[in-house]
Structure 1
């Protein structure tokens, strides 16, 4: 059985369209490898701070979201510093910023 995956760029564009269709602001902060770059989400939780989640894969190859920074909400400068360290290690990473007052991860549980 094939474990074919969509190229990251196409996968990101589909999620941007989904977020835009429901009125959730989303911005590509940094473009990574168009075919296979992983995604970091920078989630604006407004008064509660910023949350960072990193894309991973489970044992079956399905996308999972792993909280960075021990799952803490942090100041934007701390979120940016963490993301910059990750991009220094892997420049193929995509960075997506989402502003959602309902605090959803709109990339979660989406098979693509």
Structure 2
């Protein structure tokens, strides 16, 4: 059983705060299992989007872990358009926005194969 999305988001916000990075929930999704998207604003008009990794990347013996796929650095309007499409497809998604010029995100990423 995986950790509830709401608990994971709360812990993630705290992790960012402890490291001096601003993060906030822009959209609350389903408490139990809403997909989580993280937008990292680089403060120069560009951003990186972190999307949930495919389910094949998860190990049921470690329910606290969440893995993400990272997009390329992209102008923020393109990221916003992608998020609008995600909301249209799945209204239960969470959107967390992080702002950091250094690009720190504290997420576990899938390794590209």
Q: Which TM bucket (shorter chain)?
A: 0.7 to 0.9
TM-score by length of 2: 0.81
Q: Which runs of 5+ in 2 are unaligned?
A: none
> What RMSD in Å do the two structures reach over aligned CA positions?
1.8
Aligned counterpart, 1:60:
59
Structure 1: runs of 5+ lacking an equivalent: none
Q: List structure 1 runs of 4+ shifted beyond 3 angstroms.
A: none
Rounded to whole Å, the distance in 1 between the matches of 2:72 and 2:19 is 27
Select the residue among 29, 32, 38 that pairs with 2:29: 32
The number of residues matched between the two structures is: 103
Q: How does 1:93-108 map to 2 (within 5 A)?
A: 93-108=93-108
Residue equivalent to 1:51: 48
What secondary structure, in the 3-state scheme, does the structure 1 residue paired with 2:108 have?
A: coil
TM-score (norm 1): 0.81
